[in-house]
Amino acid sequence: MSSAALGDEIRAVFAGYEDAWNAQRRDELIGFWDPEADPVYLAEEQDDWITGRPGVERYFVPNPGGPSFLEALLMHFRIDHVRPLGDDHALAAGWVRHDMKLKGPRPAWGGDARVTAVLRRVADGWRFVSYTEAHMTPLNYMQKLYESNVSDEFKQYLAQRSDGE
């Protein structure tokens, strides 16, 4: 399989995963995981790793049959790198953007995290074996926040100054 074809297949898995998250069909998320694997999962808000299928299932559906604590959630994946790890495994790396609102008075929030995942080819496609989200260091994150807060007026001013040099 060509690296472009592999990348397309892996990005399609992430697109389906994104759709399930965004539609809040949390009970479908475990279907993106290799049913024979002992999964390893680390979301950005977790203190520690979740290992094993029962733990991952509880993470996706923490209150089976009960109401969701989410009012709304949007996830967007950008997978920039896909590498084969043998014939039936692949490594994916990129970014995830999330915006969410929990039920209750707290305002909505969002953020970006780096993502890396290992997937295994099974009979009906690719499935996750491990998935990790990682924040930048606080210093880098704060620098990006400051950079994103530069006014359009200053950007124009700076461009004018640069043009004259």
pLDDT digits (tens, 9 = 90+) for 80-98: 999 999 999 999 999 999 9
Rounded mean pLDDT of 20-38? 93
Q: What is the pLDDT of residues 131-165, one digit of tens each?
A: 999 987 778 878 888 888 899 999 999 899 877 55
Topology annotation, domain 3-134: Nuclear Transport Factor 2; Chain: A, (3.10.450)
What average pLDDT does the structure give for the chain? 92
Residue 93, C-beta contacts closer than 8 angstroms, at least 6 positions apart: 79, 80, 81, 82, 114, 115, 116, 117
Determine the average pLDDT of the residues in 101-118.
93
Residue 165 pLDDT: 59
For residues 49 and 55, what is the distance between their CA atoms, to the nearest angstrom?
A: 10
- φ/ψ of residue 94, rounded to 5: 175, -140
Least confident of 12-16, 25-29, 33-37: 25-29
Q: What is the mean pLDDT of residues 107-128?
A: 95
pLDDT of residue 164: 58
Domain ranges of the chain: 3-134, 137-165
Residue 125 has pLDDT above 90, yes or no: yes
The 3-class SS string of the chain reads: CCHHHHHHHHHHHHHHHHHHHHCCCHHHHHHHECCCCCCEEECCCCCCCEECHHHHHHHHCCCCCCCCCEEEEEEEEEEEEEEECCCCEEEEEEEEEEEEEECCCCCCEEEEEEEEEEEEEECCEEEEEEEEEECCCHHHHHHHHHHHCCCHHHHHHHHHHHHCC
